[in-house]
Amino acid sequence: MKKRLDFKDIYGSGPNYARGVRAGNTLYISGTTAMRSDAQGGPAMAQLRVVLDRIVRMVKAEGGKPSDIVKLTTYVTNIGEWIPITDEQTKVYTDFFGKEFPTNAIIGIAGLGNPAVCVEIEAIAVLD
């Protein structure tokens, strides 16, 4: 059984995609950015904090918890802001996941759908 999810109160779907799809106990979350937030256009770590907050809130809305997030795919427009990993970046991830980090691929790309955002993250959670 698959259920398409919108999460309008957190970060709604787009015109041609679902924000999330739940298939059994697995939740797939579409690419999430800091669009329509105070962090839009701001520093990378401020945008990261908004993105992770939105993802965690979507997982919680489906009855999950941060440790249920098992996979992130992170797309960034300036890889130099992400590699090497800084203490500030580690703190943001620790604030959301404690010591139960998900897997994460950080991929440098030429651009995202809006030049005011520098990070977009897709997520997969396995809900207990």
Indicate whether 2 belongs to any domain.
Answer: no
Domains held by the chain: number:
1
- How far is 123 from 104, CA to CA, in rounded Å? 9
Per the structure, the complete domain to which residue 51 belongs is given by 35-120
Q: Is residue 72 part of a domain?
A: yes
Does residue 70 sit within a domain?
yes
In a domain, 6, yes or no: no
**CATH code for position 97:** 3.30.1330.40
Tens digits of residue pLDDT in 65-121 = 999 999 999 999 999 999 999 999 999 999 999 999 999 999 999 999 999 999 999
Whether 109 maps to a domain, the answer reads yes
Residue 27 lies in a domain: no
pTM of the model: 0.97
Report if residue 101 sits inside a domain.
yes
